[in-house]
Structure 1
Amino acid sequence: MLLIENADLFSPAPLGLGTVSVVGGKISGIHPADSAKELRLHMERLCPEVTVLDAEGGKVLPGIIDRHVHFNGAGGEGGPRYRTPPLQLSAFVRAGVTSAVGLTGTDGTCRGLRDLLMKARGLEEEGLSTWILTGSYALPSPTLTGGVMDDLCLIDKVIGLKIALSDHRSAHPTVDELRRAVSEARVGGMLAGKAGTVCVHMGSEAPAFEPLLAAVDGTDIPLAQFAPTHVSRNEALLERAVEYGLRGGNLDITAAPGEKPVFGIPTRRAVKHLLAGGVSPERITLSSDGNGSMPRFDAEGKLAGMGIGPIESVLACILELMEDPEVGPEKAVGMATSHVADQLSLPHKGRIERGRDADILVLDDRNALRHVVAKGRVMMKDGSVLARGTFE
């Protein structure tokens, strides 16, 4: 049993001061602040070992659901020495990520889905909630069982498909190939009770979103079956993202805090641009592209440099957006929690509500991460990581 007292709650909607009770890894209740003492005595009568975390009035948010993490490593555009290593559990804890979706990238040949699946299972055993996407930049998509629908139906961890578009590293799929891919993912998701979302890596080439619009044109497949990511890569793509969002498409922004980020347009500016253009906040999500390689190419397409995606970028962007009067706490927190849970059909995630998984972040008075709880287990306490991977 766990109690989080004196919490300034954002569910993501602001709830004010209160106490969160946790039993068996689930949120059992949200209680008024003045009932904390009575609640603690009641729980201690039921169980002598009750963990109490005092938020001291700090912000308390749902754990981050990072929908785009290369947790088994990625990269390789510059050769074998540019392959990023797998992430360890403590990296997620320090970033406030309690749920993660793993995927491959450019390399779907040597970065196998089998290894990705086992890494997801390992992180789950260590305390996270994890899922994966089948496929890669290539089409036809590499799969675990021989087919996208089979992967979705037969493998619990597979919740969607990864492809790439409008990028010199993509397979440059035709409209028919895109239509077939999204159809297989949609039907596989329906049969398995999953979202069957198609994560679309977006590059900088001129077609941008047009092939996605053409793929669903004349069908009953909702545009939201696609989930384009990296939509704040550059100004031209972001401008076209507004129209795409207005037509019912979902948009995932690669989190880029600060005014001079390592990737693309600053997230604060990108989010405000989408909102000002009329895009519904529920259609906007944030992800890190964590642990993915971030190659830089010159005008001739030659590798000019290499970076790595910081998994902690999502939390940094949430905090920036919470303080922005044009965005505010509810929208900011929702973009990395409830919006993601809704789009990925994860009904037990993304909100601080009774019956949801107890994935909770507690910030201190400086908005630094103080406590992290994942499925009811305290992973960080008073800024110190308590949960580490098997080989850390």
Structure 2
Amino acid sequence: MSRIVLIKNARVFSPRDLGVCDILVAGEKIEKIDQGLTLPAEIGETVDADGAWLIPGLVDSLAHISGGGGEGGFATRTPELDPRDAFRSGVTTVIGVLGTDATTRTLNELYGKARALNAQGLSCYMHSGSYQFPVTTLTGSVRTDIMLVDSIIGVGELAISDHRSSQPSISELVRVASDARVAGLLSGKSGVISVHVGGCKGQLQPLFDAVEASDIPISQFYPTHINRNESLLEHGIAFARAGGYIDFTTSTTREILASGELRASAALRLALEAGAPAERITFSSDAQGSMTNFCDKGTLQDIEVGSVTSLFEEFRRAVREENVDFVRALQAVTANPARVLGLRHKGHIAVGRDADLAILDPASFDVHHVMARGRWQYFDGRLRFRGAFAGI
């Protein structure tokens, strides 16, 4: 029997402000948005939002869901993503990636973790590949990975301008992007290339050069960590103005901030003030990734673990501390990443879209309820999610 839930008297941000509405959810989808809706108790559940803000579930476009290899040696390998951390912070969709370590962390593991998270209520997709070139794949090629594996929507995170990168040539970047683009066209997916951008002097120039040397549109490349420093941010703003998407990382540490990184919230404000299109900026958490701080000579100074909860925290900070317009900040964690990733059923509140929803207290800006694919996973500040094993 389909689950039916009526959410009444919510101020709905789709992310556009729709005013106070009622939302009817049937199964995993949003069935109706209107005012004055009613639902008999014997048919389903009615929840009165009492004017609280209803937003789309957050879309985290980059997370190391199966854990990452720490650059401080095997003892610093990071743990897998716990779906409870996502639910309690309003995140309902995640994209899994490999990073520096594609030797002891494999695509097979990543695929298995993505399937597990899906079974646990999160919507989870993944990218083929890792930092390295040639691209590691499941089936033998980027094209068949994207076309034949439902979970795989693109490639990433391929590293450039970083001492940990394989230093791909412009022609190699073009070839990967071409394969991913064609596969995306044939399969109805984005075929996007998630690009890890390090702190080296090349910055985004390899991507500008790849676009200049080919017919690949700039929007096929999706560079992340653009808030790494002010110089890279300026390059990223130019990239967004040219028609590309840029992504700011929300996980950070005091040491990394002290070395010159900007908070994602501050980077968003600065980018908007500089004229970057609001619809071309996203946030991602880099959850479970190793948060590394290297000195100028490449020696590791500090290392911590990224957190999926940082995605909501930086969204809130953008509104409350950086005075970014609420809808523009919300776009960066909902509609914008859904668009660049080709997830047409995510990131919006609209009839026929997935019932991925979060209800916020407008006074405290805290998450009170979270629904993922039509099921309450977090309600009244308590997790409803239960793992397969008792106590986990």
Aligned with 2:164 (options 169, 181, 185): 169
Native 8 Å contact 2:256 2:293 kept in 1 = no
In structure 2, how many angstroms separate the alpha carbons of the residues matched to 1:376 and 1:239? 40
Equivalence for 1:198: 193
**Counterpart code for 2:383:** V
1:96-115 correspondence runs (5 A): 96-115=90-109
**Counterpart code for 1:273:** L
**Counterpart code for 1:329:** F
Deviations 1:273-308 (A, max 9, x none): 111221111110011001111111223322111111
1:78 aligns with 2:75: no
Equivalence for 1:23: 26
1:372 aligns with 2:337: no
Go from structure 1 to structure 2 and tell me whether the alpha carbon gap of 1:372 and 1:257 turns closer, same or farther (over 3 Å shift): farther
Aligned-partner SS, 1:243: helix
What displacement does 1:323 show? 4.0
What displacement does 1:31 show? 1.6
Equivalence for 2:39: 40
Equivalence for 2:334: 337
Go from structure 1 to structure 2 and tell me whether the alpha carbon gap of 1:299 and 1:142 turns closer, same or farther (over 3 Å shift): same
Native 8 Å contact 1:234 1:265 kept in 2 = yes
In structure 1, how many angstroms separate the alpha carbons of the residues matched to 2:240 and 2:22? 37
Question: What is the TM-score when the length of structure 1 is the normalising length?
Answer: 0.94
Question: What is the TM-score when the length of structure 2 is the normalising length?
Answer: 0.94
CA RMSD of aligned residues (A): 1.6
Equivalence for 1:212: 207
What displacement does 1:320 show? 2.5
What displacement does 1:49 show? 4.3
Native 8 Å contact 2:251 2:306 kept in 1 = no
1:261-300 correspondence runs (5 A): 264-300=261-297
1:70-149 correspondence runs (5 A): 70-149=64-143
Native 8 Å contact 2:265 2:322 kept in 1 = no
Native 8 Å contact 1:89 1:388 kept in 2 = no
**Counterpart code for 1:334:** Q
What displacement does 1:267 show? 2.0
What displacement does 1:262 show? 5.4
Aligned with 1:246 (options 227, 235, 241): 241
Aligned-partner SS, 1:40: coil
User: How many residue pairs end up in the alignment?
Assistant: 382
Q: Which moved more, 1:341-350 or 1:192-201?
A: 341-350
Equivalence for 2:386: 388
In structure 1, how many angstroms separate the alpha carbons of the residues matched to 2:48 and 2:297? 56
Deviations 1:223-278 (A, max 9, x none): 010000000011111111111111111100112599x6855202222111111221
In structure 2, how many angstroms separate the alpha carbons of the residues matched to 1:9 and 1:290? 28
Deviations 1:152-203 (A, max 9, x none): 0110000000100000101111111111111111111111110000000000
Q: Which moved more, 1:221-230 or 1:297-306?
A: 297-306
Equivalence for 2:154: 160
Equivalence for 1:312: 309
Structure 2: unaligned runs, 5 residues or longer: none
Native 8 Å contact 1:186 1:197 kept in 2 = yes
Structure 1: unaligned runs, 5 residues or longer: none
Equivalence for 2:232: 237
**Counterpart code for 1:254:** T
In structure 2, how many angstroms separate the alpha carbons of the residues matched to 1:193 and 1:353? 21
Native 8 Å contact 1:8 1:15 kept in 2 = yes
**Counterpart code for 2:356:** D
Go from structure 1 to structure 2 and tell me whether the alpha carbon gap of 1:28 and 1:227 turns closer, same or farther (over 3 Å shift): same
